[in-house]
Structure 1
Amino acid sequence: MHALVTPGGPLIFAFHGTGGDEHQFAPLVRRLWPGAGLVAPRGAVSEHGMNRYFRRTGEGVYDMEDLARRTEEMIAFIRGHLVAGTPAFAFGYSNGANILAAVSFAAPGLFERIALLHPLIPWTPAPQPGLAGRQVLLTGGRNDPITPPGHTEALAGWYRAQGAQAELVLHEGGHELREGEIAALARHFDTTTQGAEP
């Protein structure tokens, strides 16, 4: 785990993709929010030597029991690292976006704003009224072979149906992160803005 808390700045939680680690997004956080604190947990599951946050049996086929258990563990971890009086934001990429989404389904009040970069949630979550008014950014690629854009659009629609303010940003590429997404992420965590309208 990478953890650095800076007095007076926001606290950013960053969740890596499959095969990443707690250092994957540290340079990005320092570049976008130089005064922010950073909490970056490493996924506790190893898939052929690659770090992940929960088990799966195939691409887009999740071990739902393991996901439920890991989600509760992550919620407890997050609660243990929040700082009273400090705004907390979170973003995740790919597998990191999936665990962050699962956390938001179960505990919607942990973060002021979240960003899901290339998430894949292959089921319809149960209704979550606690998401009403929450600001959520979702990004993806229109030619993403791992996360079909239809899934991302459906997830954005689900968040909107819960009353969240969900912004959807898609680029013409695949599963890679592009600068347009990074710019959208920076805007999303800018506390001087009010966020996107649903």
Structure 2
Amino acid sequence: MKHIFKEGKQDAPVLLLLHGTGGTEEDLLEVAKMIDEDASVLSVRGNVSENGMPRYFRRLAEGVFDEEDLIFRTKELYEFIDESAEQYGFDRSNVVAVGYSNGANIAGSLLFHYENSLKGALLHHPMVPRKSVEIPNLHGQSVFIGAGANDPICAPEETEELSKLLEEAGADVHVQWEHSGHQLTIEEVKGAAAFYKDNIK
């Protein structure tokens, strides 16, 4: 997978950066600096193209995921993180996802499908990746969700459902609501950074 790796300070977490639809591995580098300047960064470009726009998995329509492709691409990303840990010599158990929109959805899918896939996650405008699946034990994991009260793509009910599912699996979840739409706001990033410092790092 096309990616950028930047080594940070020893023992600092590795921030797994996952962009939104049409983004690239460059998109969230400044966000990563705001969250933790000392962290290593593994920023990955989605392997799927939708009308020339990179994504992490296919969708059938707006808000309707291709579940078969989602499962396949989640496994692909999970294995890529494993391979990257070997290649770059970082601690596989110290990976924190930072995802926006489509990137937040694939990060959520990692949590839904693989136990201990992430140390924690900062999810901006995520949806529920799959309905009616048994989620692995997430005890000890912390998840931040940034949400827009007026988000036309990710309705507040979707955010509340995702939060409930993650909490029922044992995760410590914090939702930060903004009076905004689907865009990633500076207030959200600041909130994610504070949550990360207090609960994950």
TM over 0.5: yes
Distance 1:150 1:180 in 2: 21
- Quickly say closer, same or farther: Cα 1:172–1:19, change in 2 above 3 A: same
1:27 aligns with 2:34: no
Tell me which amino acid in the other structure corresponds to 1:84.
D
Q: Please say which of residues 117-126 and 174-183 is displaced more in the overlay.
A: 117-126
Larger displacement relative to structure 2 (124-133 or 3-12): 124-133
Is the deviation greater in 114-123 or in 58-67?
114-123
Query: Which amino acid is 2:66 matched to?
Result: D
The reply to whether residue 130 of structure 1 matches residue 137 of structure 2 is: yes
Aligned CA RMSD, in angstroms, stands at 1.7
Q: Give the residue type in structure 1 aligned to 2:57.
A: F
Identity %: 34
Residues 133 and 36 (structure 1 numbering): CA distance in 2 closer, same or farther, change over 3 Å? closer
> Matched residues in 1 for 2:92 and 2:117: separation?
13
RCO higher in structure (CA 8 A, sep ≥6) = 2
Task: Spell out the pairing of 1:158-197 with structure 2 (5 A cutoff).
Answer: 158-190=165-197, 193-194=198-199
Inter-partner Cα distance in structure 2 for 1:85 and 1:127? 24
> 1:66 deviation in Å?
0.8
The residue identity in structure 2 corresponding to 1:37 is S
2:70 aligned partner: 67
156 and 86 in structure 1: CA distance in 2 versus 1, 3 angstrom threshold: closer
Q: Which runs of 5+ in 1 are unaligned?
A: none
Residue 50 (structure 1) aligns with = 53
User: Which amino acid in the other structure matches residue 54 of structure 1?
Assistant: F
Aligned length: 193
**Are positions 1:99 and 2:102 aligned together?**
no
| Aligned counterparts of 1:172 and 1:185: Cα–Cα separation in 2 | 16
Aligned residue type for 2:184: L
Change (3 A) 1:31 1:123: closer
- The 1-side partners of 2:164 and 2:80 are apart by 28
Deviation per CA, 1:4-27, whole angstroms, max 9, x where unpaired? 122413211110000000000112
Determine the C-alpha separation between the residues in 1 that align with 2:148 and 2:17.
Answer: 20
Q: Decide whether the 8 Å contact of 1:89 with 1:189 is kept in 2.
A: no
CA contact (8 A) 1:121 1:151 kept: yes
Q: Secondary structure of 1:131's partner? A: coil
Are 2:34 and 2:189, in contact at CA under 8 Å, matched by a contact in 1? no
Q: What's the TM-score once normalised by structure 1's chain length?
A: 0.91
CA distance in 1, matches of 2:49, 2:58: 8
Where 2:137 maps in the other structure, the secondary structure is: helix
- Which of 120, 123, 136 pairs up with 1:116? 123
Match of 1:3 in 2: 5
CA drift at 1:90: 1.1
Conserved in 1, the CA contact under 8 Å of 2:149 and 2:178? yes
